[in-house]
Amino acid sequence: MADSPPTTDAPLLRAQNLRTQFGRENPLVAVDGISYDLRAGETLGIVGESGAGKSVSVRSLVGLIDDPGEVTGSVRWRGEELVDASSRKLRAVRGSGIGMVFQNAEAAFDPSLTVGTQIVEAVRASRDLSKQDAHEEAIDLLVEVGIGDPGGRFDDYPHEYSGGMAQRAIIAMALAGEPDLLIADEPTTGLDVSVQAGIVDLFRDLVAERDMSLLLISHDLGVVSQLCERIAVMYAGRIVERGSRKQLLGSPRHPYTQAFLRSVPDVDERKDLEPIGGAPPSLENPPSGCRFHPRCPVAEAGVCDGAAPPTVAFGDGHEATCYAYTDAHPGGDDYDREAVESIRWDADGTEEIGGEEEVER
């Protein structure tokens, strides 16, 4: 993947050739050399099927990969290297630089402490506040994420929260350190559609009001397209296409992106869904060349299963890693015309998904 064009203002977060593997002898490479930049105030979404390595990739950024796992490459936060950084530096970044919203909110809370206690712990870990002040701050956070009766809810245990409310509370906990970047890992998965819509709105408001950057991981293109200006598509541990929301949804280039778009319902659910044929590849023993080639409708034997495909730039930061746009592929670069036009997607992402906003009691 080519480096991003050099710019004068340094990015908030820069991942370069990030690679995460588990085990030595027969390694499972969950993330295989991905790179991206995220500037202050930017919103980036990473989409892909489950098992593509999205979640591992964001955990790798902040040192949450444990023993059998090994992270290489570079992650720079405000210019400072985080891969193999001291636990002290990581603590500082986790506490007040980067907040993370986890997928399964109830599992992300310590089951034997009240939600309030845990948010207070997060507040006090990053800010020098008295117990009293931290308590008030925690209440304010609960208010900010839209939990009704925050004072009463403060002393409840995680299992006493509903799914949507727990998700809001985990967001409050992630905000406790006043982060500049919020990482959200499948923040709406497993929630009812109406609850999902409320959470999406909450994220949009928070990013705007707090002037945060957002790194959103989801298999749900609808959610990503509503919240993120830039989107990267991940397949089997690699980023296969990236670009603005408009570029990706309006003129997807990579055959996987195209197939992915056809496989998920669009806003009005007016098209027929086409599931992607075949199964996601094993990360222990991935296909050679382009990892999508066994499932790709335009794969060319002797080309796509050979060396890793090149990254082709389409201007304005839109890139795809595919042979189809090179001379090596017999289809040349106009094979995609029809495929692209067959996709209709609300490229502006202005429409809402789902129905009513979540009503908290």
Partner 1 sequence: MVSRLQAFLVRRLLWALPVLALVSVVVFGLIRLVPGDPAIVMLGADADPARLAAVREEMGLNDPIYVQYVDYITDAIRGDLGRSYVDDQAVSAAIASRLPRTLFLTLAGFFVSLSIAIPAGLLSATNRGKALDGVGLTFGLLGVSIPNFWLGIVLLIAFGVNLGWLPVAGYASPLEDPVAGIRYLLLPGITLGTAMAAVVTRMLRSELLEELRREYLDAVRMKGVSDLRVLGHATKNAFIPVVTVIGMQFGYLLGGSVVVEQVFTIPGMGQLLIGAIRSRDYITLQGVVLVYTTFFVVVNVVVDAAYFYLNPKLRGDQ
Interaction site with partner 1 (CB under 8 A): 59, 62, 64, 87, 91-96, 98-100, 102, 104, 107-114, 121-122, 125-126, 157, 159-160, 170, 173-174, 176-177
Q: Which is nearer to partner 1, 107 or 359 (CB)?
A: 107
Per the document, the length of the chain is 361
Give least dist CB 29 to partner 1, A: 21
**Closer residue to partner 1, CB minimum distance, 102 or 292:** 102
Which tokens go with 24?
């030595």
| The residue type at 2 | A
- Residue 24 vs 270, nearer CB to partner 1: 24
Please state the closest distance from residue 171 (CB atom) to partner 1, in A.
12
Radius of gyration over alpha carbons of the chain, in Å? 21
As measured in angstroms, the least distance from the Cβ of 160 to partner 1 is 6
- Closest to partner 1 by CB, 112 or 130: 112
Q: How far is the CB of 94 from partner 1 (least distance, A)?
A: 4
- Between 16 and 104, CB nearer to partner 1: 104
- Residue 107 CB, shortest distance to partner 1, in Å, is 4
Helix (H) or strand (E) holding 229: none
Q: Residue 167 is encoded by which pair of tokens?
A: 């998700």
To which residue do tokens 């991935």 refer? 286
- Distance between CA atoms of residues 333 and 298, nearest Å: 12
Bridge pairing between strands 230-235 and 69-77: unpaired
20 or 257, CB closer to partner 1?
Answer: 20
CB burial readout 166-204, b (16+ within 10 A) else e: bbbbbbbbbbbbebbbbbbbbbbbebeeebbbbbbbbbe
Kindly state the smallest distance separating residue 14's Cβ from partner 1, in Å.
Answer: 20
**In the complex, least distance from residue 221 CB atom to partner 1, rounded to whole angstroms:** 25
**Dist CA 181 CA 175 (whole Å):** 10
Kindly state the smallest distance separating residue 42's Cβ from partner 1, in Å.
Answer: 21
Q: Which is nearer to partner 1, 168 or 318 (CB)?
A: 168
Kindly tell me which of 34 and 108 has the beta carbon lying closer to partner 1.
108
Show the tokens assigned to 277: 């044929």
For residue 321 the two structure tokens come to: 């890693």
Question: 31-34 contacts: CB < 8 A, separation 24 or more?
Answer: 31/56, 31/57, 31/60, 31/237, 32/236, 32/237, 32/238, 32/286, 33/1, 33/73, 33/238, 34/1, 34/234, 34/237, 34/238, 34/239
